[in-house]
Structure 1
């Protein structure tokens, strides 16, 4: 049985599974809460976004800025991709 993480986490079992797989607390909470919301369908857009490798460094930098990745100004394209994937 999943541990109760309080009212801030809507699907405790999903949250715990994502954390075991190495997702950050923020990412695990975002996904678990999206899956619990009947008005959101987090997997509907899956696979349709452009691959990070196909985006420009400027696009990756802006995405990193939007989600608050620290140290992004000193990163090259591959480091930005890694930071975005592991955020």
Structure 2
């Protein structure tokens, strides 16, 4: 049995991993890109940029993503952590 979920676009996955992207994020992008009914590049842009969020909203989002040390971070550090691959 494979040690990772099924990847639908193996070439894209490997390319994203080689560029330093995390396994889960690379798999999501590769699988979304392989599905003709989904356009990953068209899905974003519905939220304002992180710079416009309040610190409380950034901390809440960091908690959802299980980012460690979030309560001690400044707003700029939270933004950097949320954008990290």
TM-score in same-fold range (> 0.5): yes
CA distance in structure 2 between the aligned counterparts of 1:7 and 1:28, rounded to whole angstroms: 12
Q: Under a length normalisation based on structure 2, what TM-score does the superposition of the two structures give? A: 0.78
Q: How big is the shift at 1:7?
A: 5.3
Q: Deviations over 1:36-72 (max 9, x none)?
A: 2334321113344311111111111111111222221
Q: Work out whether 1:69 is the aligned partner of 2:47.
A: no
Q: Which runs of 5+ in 2 are unaligned?
A: none
Larger fraction in helix: 2
Runs of 4 or more above 3 Å deviation:
none
CA distance in structure 2 between the aligned counterparts of 1:41 and 1:29, rounded to whole angstroms: 15
Residues 67, 6 of structure 1: alpha-carbon distance in 2 compared, 3 angstrom cutoff? closer
Q: Which runs of 5+ in 1 are unaligned?
A: none
Q: Work out whether 1:78 is the aligned partner of 2:76.
A: yes
Name which of 23, 26, 31 aligns with 1:25.
23
